[in-house]
Structure 1
Amino acid sequence: MKALLLAGGLGTRLRPLTENLPKPMAPIANRPWLEHLITHLREQGVDHFVMAARHCSDVIRRHFGDGRRWGVKIEYAVEPFPMGTAGAIKNAERFFDDCFLVFNADIVHLPELIPLLEFHRQHGGIATIALTEVDDPTSYGVVEQDDTGRILRFVEKPRPEEAPSNRINAGLYILEPDVFRYIPAQREVSIERETFPRLIQESAGVYGMISRGYWRDMGTPSRYRQVHWDVLDRRFPLPMQGRQVQPGVWAGEDVEFGKGVLFVPPVLIGNKVKIGDQAVIGPYAVIGDNCRIGARVHCSNSILWDRSVVRDGSRLSNSIFGYRTVAPAGEVFKNSIINDPGEVMQA
């Protein structure tokens, strides 16, 4: 089975973290989300991936290469300009001559594929859209379906009394290669606003099925943090690297703790981390590989990417530090996003 991973967006709502990083490469529990997704799909029989990339595509290519390290084959369809969801699919047409999967790679969801694939084969239409149920559908495009699962229409951001359901597009599609005939080439095309409505209008057969399990769009700082807290609370049971050194505290290899360090669970610590004397870590702290935490640092409700440094006496709360960020001694960081020593943005 082949899968197209849509990873070309700018991730503007996560800036400055995504200035030089594709959003799907943002780490979740100290590992790029895209790596979690590929590993999960490989375990379900997907062995050939195509990356639809544009923004900082070299970051993805350097990390994954040809996929051999993960036991899969990876090829690349780099967009010459922003092409939209359907435009990026059309740009990858040369790679697909049979039924294929498409993932919005910045959606945090690890779906079970077999039920979706069986449903797709049974209905015989051109497209299956994985759906998820939300408590408040008023911020999304909501689907209306008949009893067979056929999608009749999309209602964009309806008022509560106008919503035909609470089911929304989960960002996973199963498509037949005939879909390429419905997508114009060499321009930006939205699959939600153009392609799916056209397929519905022409009765090509667009169906939807609920995809169970954890689902979240990680596209804002608050949602990105919440994914991590859900991992730590095991509401999202993503594999955790390392071992539990005390209940609710996971630590990787070659970690050094100073005297009097206090951990307030839940906490996740990567490999080769050094934490100074009398530091207080947690609750809800994720510290990446090769980080250095000084003495008397307080770090709670915060995420530090690999190789970050926090000097003595600093306090972090509800903040995110990008790769190799250095925090000076004695500073207070609250509701901040920092991607280099000179850039601070309020979350």
Structure 2
Amino acid sequence: MNALLLAGGLGTRLKPLTETLPKPMALIANRPWLEHVIVHLKKQGIQNFVIAVKHHPEKIQNHFGNGEKWGITIQYAMEDSLKGTAGAIKNAERYLDDRFIVVNADIVHEIDLNPLLEFHRKHGGNVTIGLTEVDDPTQYGVVQQDGAGRILRFVEKPRLEEAPSRRINAGIYVMEKKVLSFIPPDREVSIERETFPLLITRNAGVYGKVISGYWMDMGTKDRYRRIHWDVLNRVNNLPIPGKESGKGIWLGKNCDIGPGVLLIPPVLIGDNVVIGERSIIGPFSVIGNDCVIGRNVRCSETIMWDRCKINDATHLSNCIFGYDLEMGSKHILHEAVMNRMGVLQA
């Protein structure tokens, strides 16, 4: 059984960070999220991966290659146009085993696959959808199930009093390959609006099981920040690189921390970072590898990707900086999202 990782979306709501980067390659705790996914699934016994790519596929291919570095195999299913979730699965059909796992690669999770797989084997149907329960189901497609877990219908964005449950699609599926015959080729197909309702109508055996563990869609800037604060607070158990130096302070290798620098936990400092004297970093800051931070800098609730340079006396609050960004001296920025100079969103 292999795993298909859906990594072809445009990541529109995370722009400008995703203008030249696939959303699943956004850093989470100084590591591309897609790498977290692959390592997590490998620990659960998945050795063979297919990655569906479309938006800047070279960024994924150049990073992972054939997977040898991670002790796995990777094949790539290239989309010539956006095909939706079901269309992307259909496009990868030639690479998939008779039973396979599908994971939306922009969902941050720590899912244990074994209960999902065991439930799939027991019910004997063709699809098992991993479900998660949310407090407010009104912005999602909500499932109605029978006592055996069979999904009877999806209710799209119901009013709260009309929602049949609080269970929504978590973006993780176990599928039998034969159901791909229900997906038309070479066009955009929605798995929730088209494929699953059709399979339910055909009585093809679509089941759902609530999955346990951390789950968060990183599709917006606010959620992207929230995921990082959850990492630093250890609400989830994603690995944090570096050595914990005092409670809530993670420090990478070969860092040069100047005199009078104050690190306020929780904070993560990557490898080869230089921080100038009397700077204050934290709380809730993540500094990428090879960053250079000047003197008297104040940086709080800010995520900074690799190789950024922040010059003296700049104040950053609740910002997100992409790769290789340089900020001049004495700037004051609040809630800025930047991937290079000249691209700024509040």
When the two structures are superposed, what TM-score results if normalisation uses the length of structure 1?
A: 0.99
Corresponding residue of 1:32: 32
Corresponding residue of 1:130: 130
- Determine the C-alpha separation between the residues in 1 that align with 2:144 and 2:266: 40
- Equivalent position amino acid for 1:9 in 2: G
Corresponding residue of 1:79: 79
Deviations 1:78-126 (A, max 9, x none): 0010000000000001012410000000000121011100100110111
- Determine the C-alpha separation between the residues in 1 that align with 2:251 and 2:98: 44
- Determine the C-alpha separation between the residues in 2 that align with 1:104 and 1:46: 16
* Secondary structure of 2:316 counterpart: strand
Corresponding residue of 1:46: 46
Deviations 1:32-69 (A, max 9, x none): 00000000000100000000000000000000000000
- Equivalent position amino acid for 1:91 in 2: N
* Secondary structure of 1:115 counterpart: helix
- Structure 2: runs of 5 or more not aligned: none
- Determine the C-alpha separation between the residues in 1 that align with 2:332 and 2:112: 43
* Secondary structure of 2:235 counterpart: coil
* Secondary structure of 2:28 counterpart: coil
* Secondary structure of 1:239 counterpart: coil
* Secondary structure of 2:168 counterpart: strand
- Determine the C-alpha separation between the residues in 2 that align with 1:141 and 1:244: 41
Corresponding residue of 2:220: 220
Corresponding residue of 1:194: 194
- Determine the C-alpha separation between the residues in 2 that align with 1:186 and 1:341: 39
- Equivalent position amino acid for 1:130 in 2: G
- Equivalent position amino acid for 2:120 in 1: H
* Secondary structure of 2:172 counterpart: strand
* Secondary structure of 1:197 counterpart: helix
- Structure 1: runs of 5 or more not aligned: none
- Determine the C-alpha separation between the residues in 1 that align with 2:51 and 2:19: 19
- Determine the C-alpha separation between the residues in 2 that align with 1:219 and 1:308: 23
Instruction: Find runs of 4+ consecutive structure 1 residues off by over 4 angstroms.
Output: none
The alignment's C-alpha RMSD in Å is 0.6
CA contact (8 A) 2:313 2:331 kept: yes
1:322 positional shift: 0.3
- Equivalent position amino acid for 2:267 in 1: V
- Determine the C-alpha separation between the residues in 2 that align with 1:237 and 1:46: 20
Corresponding residue of 1:254: 254
Deviations 1:137-171 (A, max 9, x none): 11111000000000000011110100000000000
Corresponding residue of 2:102: 102
Aligned residues: 346
- Determine the C-alpha separation between the residues in 2 that align with 1:79 and 1:110: 27
- Equivalent position amino acid for 2:182 in 1: Y
Corresponding residue of 2:232: 232
Check if 1:114 corresponds to 2:114. yes
1:301 positional shift: 0.5
1:245 positional shift: 1.6
Corresponding residue of 2:140: 140
When the two structures are superposed, what TM-score results if normalisation uses the length of structure 2?
A: 0.99
Corresponding residue of 1:273: 273
- Determine the C-alpha separation between the residues in 2 that align with 1:96 and 1:286: 37
1:7 positional shift: 0.2
- Determine the C-alpha separation between the residues in 1 that align with 2:123 and 2:117: 10
* Secondary structure of 1:80 counterpart: coil
CA contact (8 A) 2:101 2:172 kept: yes
CA contact (8 A) 2:14 2:219 kept: yes
Corresponding residue of 2:157: 157
Corresponding residue of 1:90: 90
Deviations 1:1-33 (A, max 9, x none): 300000000000000000000000000000000
- Determine the C-alpha separation between the residues in 2 that align with 1:180 and 1:230: 37
- Determine the C-alpha separation between the residues in 2 that align with 1:190 and 1:247: 45
- Determine the C-alpha separation between the residues in 1 that align with 2:262 and 2:70: 37
CA contact (8 A) 2:2 2:97 kept: no
- Determine the C-alpha separation between the residues in 2 that align with 1:128 and 1:247: 41
1:181 positional shift: 0.6
* Secondary structure of 1:246 counterpart: coil
Corresponding residue of 1:296: 296
Corresponding residue of 2:203: 203
- Equivalent position amino acid for 1:69 in 2: K
- Equivalent position amino acid for 2:10 in 1: L
Corresponding residue of 2:67: 67
